Amino acid sequence: MEKKLVLFDIDGTLLLTNGSNRRILIDALMAVYGTEGSARSHSFAGKMDSVIIYEVLKAAGLDEKQIAEKFTVVKNTYIDLLKQQMLPEDIELMKGIPELLQALSGRKDIVLGLLTGNFEGSGRHKLALPKLNHFFPFGAFADDAYHRNDLPAIAAERAYSLTGKRFKGEEVVIIGDTEHDIKCARTINAKCIAVATGTYSAESLGAHSPAALFDDFSDTENVIGHIVTL
Ligand SMILES: [Mg+2]
């Protein structure tokens, strides 16, 4: 049986946190650096959490060294605050996601994982609130690399440790809501299924030529048909 490794992004793909993530990151930045930088208006979509922290603080005039000195502190502060303050009612699940994950997890030809710009601690909390963590035995996170383009190879290596199977690029499907998800899939010659449930429109995602493109995942059978035949 031909198996596929299917790697899901979190924000904009599985769920939205409706402003709570940004509010909590601002609180962490203020507590540690005394400034929120450009965090109130900066685009977070498809970016690694560490990259976001550097970008918003550089906009406030801090240099790399000043940011790096307190990076571990701000990361831990952000994750702690998120675990305390982000609540189930802050989470909006994207259309069709529970049904899609339930159907995929029941298939012997599918291995599920995460590929996300979240730190593991914050990403796992976002998924714990709507009880989705059990679908994802492993993942590649912002703790693992600074650039999203390095995550597909790391996720494939973790899948090998878990399953004993080395997934070739064409056996990997990366599912995300931004051009950054589409671009990172190319680093291992994986297929990307893009979904316009985040901040990117279907038209703007289409310009980056994903292998497949959906407005949302409400049609479970159709989405699975694409995943297994791509
Ligand atoms: Mg996303």
Per-residue pLDDT of the chain (230 residues; tens, 9 = 90+): 789 999 999 999 999 999 999 999 999 999 999 999 999 999 999 899 999 999 999 999 999 999 999 999 999 999 999 999 999 999 999 999 999 999 999 999 999 999 999 999 999 999 999 999 999 999 999 999 999 999 999 999 999 999 999 999 999 999 999 999 999 999 999 999 999 999 999 999 999 999 999 999 999 999 999 999 98
- For position 2, what pLDDT does the model report? 87
> Is residue 73 helix, strand or coil?
helix
CATH architecture of the domain with range 4-16+91-229? 3-Layer(aba) Sandwich (3.40)
Summarize pLDDT for 42-63 with one digit per residue, the tens.
Answer: 999 989 999 999 999 999 999 9
Question: Which protein residues have their CB within 5 A of the ion that is ligand 1?
Answer: 9, 11-12, 177
Same CATH topology for 4-16+91-229 and 20-85: the answer is: no
- For position 51, what pLDDT does the model report? 95
- For position 56, what pLDDT does the model report? 97
Phi, psi of 110 (to 5 degrees): -125, 130
Domain boundaries, the chain: 4-16+91-229, 20-85
Q: How far is the CA of 156 from the centre of ligand 1 (A)?
A: 19
* Interacting residues of 208 by C-beta distance below 8 A, sequence separation 6+: 179, 182, 183, 194
- Which of 20-43 are b and which e, b meaning 16 or more Cβ less than 10 Å from the residue's Cβ? bbbbbbbbbbeebbebbbebeeee
Q: How far is the CA of 221 from the centre of ligand 1 (A)?
A: 22
φ/ψ bin of 124: left (φ > 0), alpha (ψ from -120 to 50), beta (otherwise): alpha
Q: How far is the CA of 9 from the centre of ligand 1 (A)?
A: 6
Q: How far is the CA of 70 from the centre of ligand 1 (A)?
A: 26
CA–CA distance, 101 with 131 (Å, rounded to integer):
12
Q: Which of 157, 164, 194 is nearest to 179 (CA)?
A: 194
Which superfamily is assigned to 20-85 in CATH? Putative phosphatase; domain 2 (1.10.150.240)
